[in-house]
Amino acid sequence: MSSLRLTTLCIVVLILGAGAVVPAVAQDTQVPVDRDSSLYTIEPALREAADLFPEVSGFAGAELYRGEEGGYELVVRYRDQGRVRRQRRSLTVDEVRELRARVSRALAARRDRRGFTQEGRYGLTAATTIHGLAEGGFLAGALGAEGSAAATLVLVGGASGFFVPLFATQGARVTEGEADATFYGGLQGYAHAAELAALVAGDDADGPATAGLAAVLGAAEGTAGYLAARRHDWTGGHAEMITYTGLAGNVLGLGVGAALLGDDDADDDAGRARVLGGTALLGSLAGMYLGHRMGRTDRYTEGDARIYVQTAVQGANLMGSFLSVDDFPDARATSLLMTGSAVAGGLLGRRLVRDRDFTGTQGNLVALGSVAGSLLGLAVTLESDETATAIAQAVGSAAGFGMTYGLLRGDARRQAASSTSAFDVDVRVGPGLARKPAGTSGEKGVLDRLGPRVAVSASF
């Protein structure tokens, strides 16, 4: 494949990626609906708990936006005759303040009422045991321990990683989100240590110092992930969206760095290491933030998150297999194409899980389908050249993914519909955001005093 063809294909991928992103850009800025700035969408269950919008029949969700001139607009989505419609309401600063207060009180009450659960305790202790073993090994490297001394640090680290959380969570509520955030937070800590070392010292980074930094950051970021998931009551799907997108950000950052460098300064190893370390670190942080925003503006299950990240992998795998025809002749174009394909795959993944609730098991089945398809492609081309084998495994992986996804998407759609329709209850129609029934005692808040307002509805 010539350099001109590679460049043309690169431009096409970037145009397609831009076309997928641009429609989502709007002049208004979406803002949180709670005091802690941790929630961006009011779901049906939360609407019921906060006693909001009782006049809206078939409520599906609500988001708050701030205009360029400082005003606020509440967009209420509801279902009417099988179609989703939007109702727009202008709010004052006082009305936004009371809306956030109601949402925050409902969230706090829901956390207090939630029953005792330890569904994530096994996952949490398994994650901390693995991290304990890894961090014991890093400490051994940092201290220069060898032989039985190094083995002792590893074994004690693993044992401590199990027993300390086991006793600390006795009688405490532990969720899947907390377990996921702990495990992936630790992995990010190890990656960030290597990236920071490369950014600061280039290829001259000290091995023991990097190992010690990995042990510290792994423990710190794993603990931070647990505390964040616990404080904000993250679901397993939300936690996995943050962590998968963050982990992918490390790789995408490397791709961007490689594209920036190209074949230039090939002999400046220290400079290349600094650039790659910096772009990987920035990509990781940007990925975690993006995953957090996506998790707050849309609802994702664990299966949704796993399918979403698989599509990014499929995009990179397909592009990489076809680029192997010429053994990657142009480093800059190759890096851009690989990165752009992964991003395009992630955008496709968001569409594939929209209005669907895949369970964790279903997400794993789709992953296994992808692996099975890849194995079949390898089997068919076992006696062929390496290029044909690479392409066959990538096409087989994509086909296996598509077939398994197609078998499960109907169930996922029905699961999403059943979880939403349970709250689509017809109630009385009246003006305002939340009007108290006649004769209700107590001081009226700002939202209760709202008079009739003009509502604009749009279907899509």
Which string of b and e fits 4-26 if b means at least 16 CB within 10 Å? eebeebbeebbeebeebeeeeee
pLDDT at 16 over 90: no
Comparing 64-73, 178-187, 284-293, 356-365, the range with the smallest average pLDDT is 64-73
- Find out whether 241 and 303 touch, Cβ atoms under 8 Å: no
The DSSP result for 292-328, as a single string, is HHHHHHS---HHHHHHHHHHHHHHHHHHHHHHGGGT-
Rounded Cα distance between 310 and 322, Å, is 18
Q: Compute the mean pLDDT over every residue in the chain, rounded to the nearest whole number.
A: 79
- Find out whether 265 and 271 touch, Cβ atoms under 8 Å: yes
pLDDT at 219 over 90: yes
The DSSP result for 393-424, as a single string, is HHHHHHHHHHHHHHHHHHHHHHHHHHHHHTT-
Comparing 11-15, 281-285, 397-401, 423-427, the range with the smallest average pLDDT is 423-427
- 343 Cβ partners below 8 Å, 6+ apart? 17, 252, 312, 315
pLDDT at 460 over 80: no
pLDDT of residue 112: 54
Rounded Cα distance between 40 and 31, Å, is 6
pLDDT at 434 over 70: no
Q: What is the mean pLDDT of residues 166-184?
A: 88
pLDDT at 22 over 60: no
Residue boundaries of the structural domains of the chain: 1-26+321-429, 32-112+430-459, 118-300
3 state DSSP class of 385 = coil
Question: How many residues are present in the chain?
Answer: 460
The DSSP result for 8-31, as a single string, is HHHHHHHHHHHHHHGGG--SSEEE
Q: What is the mean pLDDT of residues 342-367?
A: 89
Q: What is the mean pLDDT of residues 2-19?
A: 44
What confidence tens digit (pLDDT) does each residue in 140-149 have? Answer: 999 999 999 9
Count of CB atoms situated within 10 Å of the CB of 101: 16
pLDDT of residue 182: 94
pLDDT at 139 over 60: yes
pLDDT of residue 152: 95
Rounded Cα distance between 124 and 172, Å, is 12
Q: Specify the DSSP element, H or E, that contains 88.
A: strand 83-91
The DSSP result for 201-240, as a single string, is HGGG--HHHHHHHHHHHHHHHHHHHHHHHHHHT--HHHHH
pLDDT at 135 over 70: yes
pLDDT of residue 400: 93
Q: What percent of the chain has pLDDT over 90?
A: 30
Rounded Cα distance between 436 and 303, Å, is 40
pLDDT of residue 10: 47
What confidence tens digit (pLDDT) does each residue in 386-418 have? Answer: 788 888 999 999 999 999 999 998 888 888 776
CA-based max dimension of the chain: 82
Residue 379 structure tokens:
């089997």
Token look-up 């014991």 returns 136
In the beta sheet, which residues pair with residue 90? 73
- 23 Cβ partners below 8 Å, 6+ apart? none
Residue 256 structure tokens:
């961007």
Comparing 58-62, 133-137, 260-264, 394-398, the range with the smallest average pLDDT is 260-264
Find, among 174, 69, 84, 88, the residue nearest to 123 by Cα: 174
Comparing 99-108, 131-140, 159-168, 353-362, the range with the smallest average pLDDT is 99-108
Q: How confident is the model at residue 183 (pLDDT cuts 50, 70, 90)?
A: very high
3 state DSSP class of 123 = helix
pLDDT of residue 458: 39
pLDDT of residue 399: 94
pLDDT of residue 383: 76
pLDDT at 420 over 90: no
pLDDT of residue 327: 58
Comparing 20-24, 98-102, 179-183, 328-332, the range with the smallest average pLDDT is 20-24
Query: Which of 95-109, 147-161, 427-441 shows the highest mean pLDDT?
Result: 147-161
The DSSP result for 248-264, as a single string, is HHHHHHHHHHHHHHTTT
Q: Specify the DSSP element, H or E, that contains 63.
A: strand 59-66
